[in-house]
Copies of this chain bind each other. A is one copy, B any other.
Amino acid sequence: MTHVALLLSPLLVLGAFMTDAQAAPRSPRAVLVIHGGAGTIDPSKITPELEKQYHAALTRALEAGYTVLNSGGTSLDAVQAAVIVMEDDPLFNAGRGAVYTSDGHNEMDASIMDGSNRMAGAVASVRGIKNPIKAARAVMEKSSHVMLVGEGAIQFAREQGLELADSAYFGTQRRWEELQRTREEEKKKGEYGSLSFPHTHLGTVGAIAIDTKGNLAAATSTGGLTNKRWGRVGDSSIIGAGTYADNASCAVSCTGRGELFIRSAAAYEVSALMRYKNMDVDAAAKHVIHDDIVKLGGEGTGGLVALDREGRFAMEFNTRGMYRGYIGKDGVPHTFLYKDP
């Protein structure tokens, strides 16, 4: 964790975001942090060309969110803008590029939360919605509910005039081949669900931000788990598990084996540790990823990004890598793939 520790050392954080207050007075604290999934990102198996593509995609997402923040927009709009870029990019397991279910569909989950009022919205197990994060946002703002699932959620998205897309849009050759490989592996190993973790999980996306008014927000979107069955829902659409935001503490977006993040209420736990145990965001994120999740058998299964109301943040994972990045006051995107950059 040298890298993350380095990023979070007080000096560097101050240097990056909190000094030189006279410059860029409109966004003294605006910060955006994103992830594109945690897992076995093996440098020996990713070509330099693919590495470049990931850095470029993360950079585009950071810039999209930062454009919102820098023009005085809300953290809510910023996290949505960043997530949309990643949903639209087939590199990530969300929106276009979502993995295939056992029966060959793309079923997606997403959630969003506004730290200023703790309003939240989520959709789960939806098909054919181009940007599930927009549907989650609509649930928050246009319904009296927090969570809609399945056909009902799709009908709601349609009524809200959200853009739909057919299976050809979501279908990518890479994800189809992953499904075939997973099916083959499962045939050899036996039981469904017996496969080792990172193989089938990589690519959930998320974003957290603080805007110039000091409001926090968080968003998460995923295609879930390759070869998943039975309408399985992970943590990405669960407020408190995969996503949480509260101006009183922090904004959090998680990625990894969703079942463990649900059972440990991972996103909310970061907030609880900060409020009740006076941990800073770094210590709270480390506790959840290297203690809480590991106690449930989750070593090597996930990560999270978390951001406090001072603009300090953590990008913590117990896997070999996590696609991630941040952008602060200076407007320069910083992106990373592996543990040590």
Residues on A facing B (Cβ under 8 Å):
113, 118-120, 124-125, 143-153, 155-156, 192-194, 228-234, 238-241, 244, 258-259, 262-265, 268-269, 272-273, 276-277, 296
Tell me what chain A mostly uses at the interface: helix, strand, loop, or mixed: mixed
Give chain B nearest CB distance to A257 CB in angstroms.
9
B231 and A120 form a contact (CB under 8 A): no
Q: Is the CB of A263 within 8 A of B277?
A: no
Query: Whole-angstrom distance between the alpha carbons of A58 and B262 in the complex?
Result: 30
Q: Is the CB–CB distance between A262 and B146 below 8 Å?
A: yes
- Check A125 against B150 for contact (C-beta < 8 Å): yes
Interface centre among A194, A276, A277, by most B CB within 10 Å?
A: A276
Q: For the complex formed, measure the closest distance between the CB of A145 and the CB atoms of chain B, giving whole angstroms.
A: 5
Q: Which residue of B lies closest to A295 (CB)?
A: B118
Known: A118-B296, A193-B143. A148 touches B239 (CB 8 A): no
Residue of B nearest to A264 (CB): B118
CA distance A273 to B232 in the complex (A): 30
* Residues in B whose Cβ lies below 8 Å from that of A118: 263-264, 296
A148-B230 contact, Cβ under 8 Å, with A262-B120, A276-B277: yes
19 pairs, A vs B, C-beta closer than 8 Å: A118-B263, A118-B264, A119-B263, A144-B193, A145-B228, A145-B232, A145-B259, A148-B231, A150-B150, A151-B231, A152-B229, A152-B232, A156-B229, A240-B241, A240-B262, A240-B268, A265-B265, A268-B269, A268-B272
Q: Given the complex of chains A and B, what is the CA–CA distance between A259 and B143 in angstroms?
A: 11
Other-chain contact of A262, B147, B153, B263 (Cβ < 8 Å): B147
Partner of A152, one of B113, B125, B259: B125
Closest to A259 in B: B146
In the assembled complex, which residues on chain B have CB atoms less than 8 Å from the CB atom of A192?
A: 144
Interface centre among A113, A125, A234, A265 (most CB of B within 10 A): A265
User: A296 → chain B, closest Cβ, in Å?
Assistant: 6
Considering the chains assembled together, what is the distance between the CA atoms of A263 and B244 in angstroms? 9
Closest chain-B Cβ to A108's Cβ sits at a distance in Å of 13
Which residues in B have their C-beta under 8 angstroms from that of A276? Answer: 272-273, 276-277
Question: Inside 8 A of A268's CB, which chain B residues have their CB?
Answer: 240, 265, 268-269, 272
Bound-complex Cα distance A234 to B146 (A): 8
Interface centre among A113, A125, A193, A264 (most CB of B within 10 A): A125
CB closest chain-B residue, reference A147: B233
Question: How many angstroms from the CA of A155 to the CA of B153 in the assembled complex?
Answer: 19
Chain B residues with Cβ below 8 Å from A230 are: 143, 145, 148, 152-153, 155-156
Question: Are A151 and B150 neighbours in the complex by a CB distance under 8 Å?
Answer: yes
Task: Please give, as numbers and ranges, the residues of chain B lying within 8 Å of A233 by CB-CB distance.
Answer: 124, 147-149
Residues of B within 8 A of A194 (CB): 144
In the docked arrangement, what's the CA distance between A147 and B238, Å? 10
Nearest B residue to A266 via CB reads B240
Nearest residue (CB) in B for A152 is: B231
